[in-house]
Structure 1
Amino acid sequence: MNEKWILVLFISPFLLLQSFLLFINAKKRGAHPWFWGIWGLIQIPMPTLFYWFFIIWLPARRKRGM
């Protein structure tokens, strides 16, 4: 088996899991779930880091008044 296929088979479950979790969490927060879910399928880990920063951390910081 070609090394590229092994890499694809290894990374695919992580991309699917990331996409699923981003979609579900964004849906609960009303934060464009389809955007986050599709972006989660494309690359790893940047969508998760951006989601945490822009959807979770910044609004919580603004809410506390910092």
Structure 2
Amino acid sequence: MNEISPIWLILIAIVLFVQGTWIFQDARKRGRFPWLWGLWGITGFPTPLIVYWLVVVRSERKRS
């Protein structure tokens, strides 16, 4: 119980990498500080994704 299975560590790493990559690419397409968002995207799940959606995606939709 004290140790985390290597399978879980690998799955968590994959989820964080995919999330960070997706946020980076989307922010680069929108021109909104891609390195900042991408690096923050690999630090946790799902908070960076939710904040990115609220700050960047939703605000851009309101302007259109």
Name structure 1 gaps, 5 residues minimum. Answer: none
- The structure with the greater share of residues assigned to helix is 1
Separation in 2, partners of 1:30, 1:58: 13
Separation in 2, partners of 1:47, 1:56: 13
1:37 matched residue in structure 2? 38
1:7 matched residue in structure 2? 8
TM-score, with structure 2 as normaliser: 0.84
Separation in 2, partners of 1:56, 1:10: 27
4+ long deviations beyond 4 Å: none
Paired residue total: 62
TM-score, with structure 1 as normaliser: 0.82
Separation in 1, partners of 2:8, 2:37: 23
Separation in 2, partners of 1:4, 1:44: 19
